[in-house]
Amino acid sequence: MKQVVILMGAPGSGKGSQAKLFMGEKGFFHISTGDLLRAEVEKKTDFGQEIKSYIDNGALVPDSVILNIVESKIVANDKMLFDGFPRNIRQAEALEKIFEKNNIKDVFIVRLDVDDDIILERVVNRFQCAKCGAIYNSKSRPTKVKGVCDICGSEDFKFRQDDRLEVVKSRLDVYYKETAPVLDFYEKGGKHKVFGFDSTKDPSDLFVEIFEKLKI
């Protein structure tokens, strides 16, 4: 039976860190629309260039592009974790249709709560290992040895263009306008259970707490 967990929360609320634990510890297949879009941008095609202009401005990529990407992934996997999707009500409604079509009933919504001032601090200081994807923060979570990834030992790191302060502020605006209503949609719709968590906690502790609550 297919099982879906949807990670919801503002940019920088810790979705990526939890996703890594869901994959590594529980074997979930990670569907991050942001990662899939960035991979498309890397290919440097015309389509990738078009996507890049949305991402660099902190705007949402058109729903039709996103839904095509997501539907191709959903059929092939049993335990799925959505990260960064659905991002607006239209995507949430389309996803309900995909659930019906594929007879998916086991759906859990995980809401990660963090205040905006912490989010801004987290995102503008974050960087990532270019090899294994481990996420760090130059102020609150640096690598143990300067310039060396704790997990894989790589010395190659990357920063996201859209983590600059002006862009993060736009992304937060888009989040409150477009994505926060999706939480209302789930909370009031009553179809799927919504579980809220304080995402200022240590990611590993929080991960244990999430699984205790979800009982999956």
Contact assessment for residue 33 and residue 69, using Cβ atoms and an 8 Å cutoff: yes
Does 9 bind ligand AMP (CB under 6 A)? Our answer is no
Smallest distance from ligand AMP to CB 176, Å: 13
Smallest distance from ligand AMP to CB 212, Å: 26
Angle between helices 33-42 and 63-74 (to 10 degrees): 110
97 φ, ψ (degrees, to nearest 5)? -65, -40
Q: What is the per-residue binding string for ligand AMP in 33-72, x denoting contact by CB under 6 A?
A: xx--x----------------xx--xxxx----x------
3-state secondary structure of 73: helix
Contact assessment for residue 81 and residue 22, using Cβ atoms and an 8 Å cutoff: yes
Q: Is residue 160 annotated as a catalytic residue, yes or no?
A: yes
Of 20, 52, 87, 122, which is the active-site residue? 87
Q: Is residue 141 annotated as a catalytic residue, yes or no?
A: no
The Cα 21–Cα 24 span in angstroms is: 5
Q: Closest CB to ligand AMP belongs to which residue?
A: 34
| Residue closer to ligand AMP (CB basis): 160 or 213 | 160
Does 4 bind ligand AMP (CB under 6 A)? Our answer is no
Q: Is residue 111 annotated as a catalytic residue, yes or no?
A: no
- Residue 69, burial from CB neighbour count under 10 angstroms (0-12, 13-18, 19+): middle
Q: Which residues, numbered 102-161, are part of the site for ligand AMP (CB under 6 A)?
A: none
Smallest distance from ligand AMP to CB 86, Å: 6
The Cα 124–Cα 143 span in angstroms is: 16
Q: Which residues bind ligand AMP (CB under 6 A)?
A: 11, 33-34, 37, 54-55, 58-61, 66, 84-85, 87, 91, 162, 171
